[in-house]
Structures are given as C-alpha cells and as structure tokens.
Structure 1
Amino acid sequence: MAYVTYGELAPDGRNAILATHGYTASHLMLAHGAGTAEGSWAPLIGPGKPLDTDKYFIVCSNMLGSSYGTTGPGSIDPASGVAYGADYPDITLTDIVEVQHRLLSRLGVRHLKCVVGPSFGGFQALQWALDHPDWVDSIGVVVSAPYLPASEYSSLESLQAELATNAQWNNGRCASLDTMVETLEQMRLSTMDTYGMSAVLAARGFDAEECAARCRLMSATWAREFNPYSLLVLMKAALAFDVRDRLDEIRADVLYVVADTDKLFPPDPTVQTAMGRTRGRRPMHYVQMRTDFGHSASGAGHALWSESLRDLLHHA
C-alpha cells in the first residue's frame, strides 16, 4: 500500500486524520504538484492550516484497486507471475476501507479525528463512519454523495465503450497497455473538461491556449500512469456503493460540501435531506459552493469551505 504521512502521531494514537482521494487521483493529493488532482488539496495542509500538521497526524493513502502503488490490476498476481489485468477481482468500498484500517493500525493509529475526501474520497469517509463507528469522530464528504448519481459520466457501459474504441483493447484482454495511452489521453481530456479544469487554470491567469496546452500535458502524464483496468474496477465499486438507507446509523459529525456547477454530484435537495439524517453530536453542516470550478472545486475553491473543515476538526 502506498501512502504519505504528515505531522506526528500522538503517544495515544488519537490525533490522526485520514485524507481520502478521488477516482483517478492518488495519495499525493496533499502534496505540491501540477497534476489534475495531485497537489489539489495542498493549500489545506500545513502549520496553522485546517489540516494542521502541528496538531494532527495526517495520512493520505492510495486506495485499493488504483494505479499508484497499492495492489491493483497492474500488480503482479503471484499465482500467475503476470499482472492481474482483467482478472483483478471486484472490490467494494468496505474492502477499500478495511485495507486503510489495517494500514492505520500498523502505523499505530488508534482513533481518527476525521476522515475527509472529495468525490470517491467522500464515499470512503461515509463507509468509514459506518464500518468503524467507534474509530471516527467526524467525516468530511466533499463534492460527493452517499451514492453515485446516474449520468453519462458514471456509466460502466460508456466507460467500456470508450476503451473499446481502441481495437487493441480486445474486449478487455489488451496485449500491451502501451497501445492504450492515446485512448486514455483523449478520455482524460474529456474528463478534465467535465471536471472544470479549464476554469481552474483560467483563474490562475492562463489564457485559452495555455490552458489547452496544460490540459494536454496533464492528460498525457496521467495516461502513461493510470491502468485502464483500474478505471473499471473502481467504477464498479462506485456503482455498487449506496448508503442512503444507512445514513441514520452514522454517529460521526458530518460536513457535507457540494458545488453548484458540479456535473457529477450536483446539489440535490433530496440528498441534502437524506444526509441530514446522520446522528452526530451536532447537526450536519452543509456548504454549497458558488463557483465556476465544478467538480474540481474542492481544491481550487478550498477557501469556500476550508473554515468549515477547521470548525469540524475543532469540535471533533
């Protein structure tokens, strides 16, 4: 399992925070970087920041089934001596959380002040609160929801069809993943447009030509790193995740943050009401960001919700 830690663990092991990343991101979400997701939450961490490294021991781990060091489809199957690829088993959010729990226990963590993350990371936060209620004081569910809303952006069939546009995919039995890089790059460019990355780059002062060039560079980098089988494994896990009927079991305090321009998890009064059924010591705190950054707003628009995170941790 690949992970990064920040700050120092208290002797009693109870000052820890788990930061959980999104669908195609990695354990470098809190690190300074220039990727689409890597470094996106860097403004939130450091001395005096909401994720205060003088107070907390913060862990960000790559999730099970992904492509950045933790066991996934690109890992070698000891039974065959070759990468799992299409033979990697289906996993669930419970599996992902269980691996995180084992990692934290190995690190000496005995309790979590908070589990917080965007998108797929929000799924993990909710699953933590359900699977390990005695461990978790609070959760931050950011640009996410207690299930994956149906859309063109969250369709397994559409994802499979996109991969199949490359004849080398061979119905999921690709002989060499090198042949998939161009296809993945084009898929990533489309995803970044959906996520609002152009607006993020424009807000940083780049003109349209510079935005396009940076998006191409980030897409090309990601396409060389990310395993297409991980896309399928994690999409299946996301589609199987739905805890709307279990929200009243959650005893952790909850911060729920959405963005008004998010195409993946648009604000939904029904979901907001459902999330309000959680039974923390304090009522759920809801933040709706008004932003052009869409699904990328959790990092780029951090100033719109970071003080709510600080408050959540202060009372945890």
Structure 2
Amino acid sequence: MPTVALPTIEAGEAVAGTFTLAGLKLQQGGFLPEVRTAYFSRGTLAPDGCNAILVAHGYTGGPDMITDASHVVDGSWSELIGPGRAIDTDRWFVICANALGSSYGSTNAASIDPATGQPWGSSFPEVRVADIVAVQKALLDHLGVKHLVAVTGHSFGGAQVFQWGVDHPHFMDALVPVICAPAMPGADVAALQAELQALPDWRGGDYYGRGDLTAYLTRKRASGLRAFGADAVLADQSLDTEQRTRELQRLAAEWARTFDANSLLILFRAMAAFDVRDRLGEIRAPLLLVLSRSDKLVPAAKAPLIMAALESAGVDARYFEIDSDHGHCASGSDAAKWSGALADFLRAHGRR
C-alpha cells in the first residue's frame, strides 16, 4: 500500500504542505536517511513567528483533523479550530503534522528505503513519541515558528503534548493534553503482533504488492470505533441501529483503503513505550488536562491521580471534564461542551 496523498481542501480553509528532513537518528538507535512530513496549516504566521499553535492527531487519525472536511468520528476538531472558534485562526497560525510512521503522507513502512529501492516494510526502525516530536520541532523551525502559543491534541496526540512539555519546556506558553495521560494505558503490543501474524497476507510485515489487508483493517477499525464511543456519536445524530451499523462500516472501509497496517503497529509500539511520569517536573508551561466522563481508555476516574502527580511535580495544572456520552470521541464530537474552557485557557496563557 503506497503512502497516500493528503486530501484536497478548498483554498482559504487550510493549506497542505510537505517538509523533508535529511536524516534522523532515532531514540532506539535506528536511522532514517530521509524523513518526509505532511501537514496542514490554517491562519497566518506572525512576523515574529510567535503566534503558532501545534495540534497533534490521534493514533489512527491524520492532519486533516484541523480542517472542516474530516468526520467527528475520525477525530475532527473542526468545531474547535477556525475563525472565531476556540483556536481562532484569525489570531493564531495552526498547524497539524502527520506523525512519523503514520499513513497520511509522512515517511512510514510503505516508503522506499533508499538503500534497497524497496518499501521499508518489516525493517522500518522503531519509533518513539520523542522521535515524532523531534520531527515536528524540525518542521516548525523550517516554517519559521520561534515559539508556540500552545501544544494540544487528543489521545495519542495528547501523549505528544506531554512529550513536548518535557522535551521543549520553554518553547510554548500552554499545554492542553486531551483524553490521555502521561503514560498511555492498554497498549498490548504482543497481542497486536499475534493478531497480525495470524493473517496469511501479513507476510511478516512485508506484504507490499503481495497481500491485501483491507478486510482486516476494516474489521479492526469498525471494532475500534465502537469501543471508543462512535455508536453514541451517531445515535445523537438520530441514526437508528441499522443506519449506525452501515455508517460505521462505511467509515471503517474508507479508512482501511488509506491506512497502512504497518503504521498500526509502528504507532502502537510508540504508544506502548510512552511514559513521561518521571519527567513531569521538567514541564514549565501551564497545563489544562481534559478528560471525557465516559471514556474507557483513560477514565475520568483517573483524573485525581494524574492531577496529584502533576501538582506534586510542581506543574501549574488544572482539570476539565467533558460531560459527554461519546467516550474517546468526545473532544471532537462534543466540542461545544469544552470549547469555552479551551478558549479561556488559551486567552489566559497564550501571552504571545
């Protein structure tokens, strides 16, 4: 499966771009001789380079989450980002980069290894959240961003927010990790590897041109959407049970046509290895932690423990809970329930 191109977005709504970094040494010792990053941006960068907000997408999402073209079930923040919205593109330059190893235009296992002329496949080196952040920092430097107003993102994107806070503590005015924690729970890499190995078309991860994993990815996506609250999102759109089933299947099939199974594993490994709990004391920016009342991955019941850890580390932290039945999808699908808190926090702490 080739690395897919970014979707076409109407002029004036968002700008698609790519950036190529010549060489990246990875945390686990691997090396990529070239790293391509696809991204979307909205708004205009100020002459001093200090009015930017970085948004990080979730595990199976992409940079189009900041556009008006993406679906809320797929993680869209379109109700939060735009002219006059909580993340106001008339005021701020907003950028979302596709994560290293993901499938929406950035270097991943489907990319060509220049040493062999073939897709990286199973030989793609291990990636950590710190590597993803390092590529984002290189992109911001390339664009002329000198300082960030904020870093925000949900789920796996929220893990990147925490990583930014400890790796570049003085580079932003505010941090807003959403529906996540300083160590992400539930990432059983061995189980996912076993699941993939059981597929005849997997071929150890070297399936390009030799196997078709679309049916597996469709099943995987549909199951994940249900687990993360998508059925409740669609029910609130007045779809009956049969209509919701059809719509979930449609969304899953659409995603499966573009997402690479190797990316599923690459990013899952990165999420499983992510843990900055012993580095929370390095965070210097004020932080707003946002969880969803009904989320099962990072339950709101964990908020007191997370907040206690942040406060004991000396972090200026506060908490907001989205009162939503939409589970892990709530940050986008129920954006109106927390957009005010986000806007207030950015106004208070986005000094630049």
In 2, Cα distance between equivalents of 1:155 and 1:38 = 22
Q: Secondary structure at the match of 2:62?
A: coil
- Does the 8 Å contact 1:256/1:284 carry over to 2? yes
The 2-side partners of 1:128 and 1:286 are apart by 19
> 1:81 matched to which residue of 2?
117
Cα distance 1:202–1:37, how it changes in 2: closer, same or farther (>3 A)?
closer
Q: CA deviation at 1:176?
A: 3.7
Q: Does 2:157 match 1:121?
A: yes
Check if 1:33 corresponds to 2:66: no
Counterpart residue number, 1:191:
224
CA distance in 2, matches of 1:164, 1:36: 32
Question: Contact between 1:36 and 1:218, CA under 8 Å: does it hold in 2?
Answer: no
8 Å contact from structure 2 (residues 119, 208) kept in 1: no
Task: Compare the two structures and name the one with the higher strand fraction.
Answer: 2
1:63 aligns with 2:88: no
What are the residue-to-residue correspondences of 1:197-212 with 2, within 5 Å?
197-212=230-245
Query: SS state of the match for residue 87, structure 2?
Result: coil
Q: Which whole-Å deviations, capped at 9, do the CAs of 1:117-174 have from their partners, x for residues lacking one?
A: 000111111111111112111111101000011x3xx211221222233222133333
What's the offset of the Cα at 1:277? 3.7
Q: 1:175: how far off?
A: 5.2
Structure 2 counterpart of 1:247: 280
Q: Is 2:256 the counterpart of 1:223?
A: yes
Letter of the structure 2 residue corresponding to residue 245 of structure 1? D
- Displacement after TM superposition at 1:230 (Å): 0.8
Matched residue of 2:268: which SS?
Answer: helix
Q: 1:133-212 alignment to 2 at 5 Å?
A: 133-149=169-185, 151=186, 154-174=187-207, 176=209, 178-212=211-245
**RMSD after superposition:** 1.6
2:332 counterpart (282, 299, 309): 299
Distance, in Å, in 1 between the alignment partners of 2:343 and 2:130 is 27
Q: For 1:39 and 1:31, how far apart are their aligned partners in 2?
A: 11
Q: 1:68 to 1:299 in 2, by over 3 A?
A: same
Residues 240/79 of structure 1: CA separation in 2 closer, same or farther (3 Å cut): same
Say yes or no: does 1:3 pair with 2:39: yes
Q: Would the alpha carbon gap of residues 64 and 276 (structure 1) be closer, same or farther in structure 2, given more than 3 Å must change?
A: same
TM-score when normalising by structure 1 = 0.94
Name the structure with the higher helix share: 1
Tell me the CA shift for residue 195 of structure 1. 0.8
Go from structure 1 to structure 2 and tell me whether the alpha carbon gap of 1:145 and 1:139 turns closer, same or farther (over 3 Å shift).
same
In the alignment, does 2:346 pair up with 1:309?
Answer: no
1:180 & 1:109 partners in 2: Cα distance?
A: 39
SS in 2 for 1:186: helix
Matched residue type, 2:91: K
Structure 2 residue identity aligned to 1:136: M
- 1:276 Cα offset (Å): 2.9
Counterpart residue identity of residue 112, structure 2: I
Q: Quote the offset at 1:31 in angstroms.
A: 1.4
- Deviation of 1:75 (Å): 0.9
One of 47, 51, 70 as aligned partner of 2:83: 47
Query: What is the SS of the residue equivalent to 1:276?
Result: helix
Distance 1:172 1:138, change over 3 A: same
Secondary structure, counterpart of 2:145 in structure 1: coil
Aligned to 1:275: 310
3-state SS in 2 of match to 1:102:
helix
Work out whether 1:235 is the aligned partner of 2:271. no
User: 2 CA distance for matches of 1:279 and 1:55?
Assistant: 30
Report percent identity of matched pairs.
43
Return the offset for 1:34.
4.8
TM-score (norm 2): 0.85
Aligned-partner Cα distance in 1 for 2:116–2:324: 49
Counterparts of 2:313 and 2:331, CA distance in 1: 22
Preserved contact between residue 247 and residue 277 of structure 1 (Cα < 8 Å): no
Secondary structure of the 2:287 match is: strand
Contact 1:19 1:116 in 2 (8 A): yes
**Alpha-carbon separation, structure 2, partners of 1:15 and 1:257:** 23
- Counterpart amino acid of 1:90? E
Query: In 2, Cα distance between the equivalents of 1:175 and 1:98?
Result: 28
Amino acid paired to 2:340: E
Query: What is the identity, as a one-letter code, of the residue corresponding to 1:99?
Result: V
Cα separation, 2, equivalents of 1:18 and 1:182? 34
**2: CA distance, partners of 1:39 / 1:119:** 10
Following TM superposition, by how much is the alpha carbon of 1:36 offset from its aligned partner in structure 2, in angstroms? 5.9
Q: Which secondary structure does the structure 2 equivalent of 1:114 belong to?
A: strand
Three-state SS of the structure 1 residue aligned to 2:180 is: coil
Distance 2:83 2:251 in 1: 29
How has the CA–CA distance of structure 1 residues 46 and 252 changed in structure 2, closer, same or farther, with 3 Å as cutoff? same
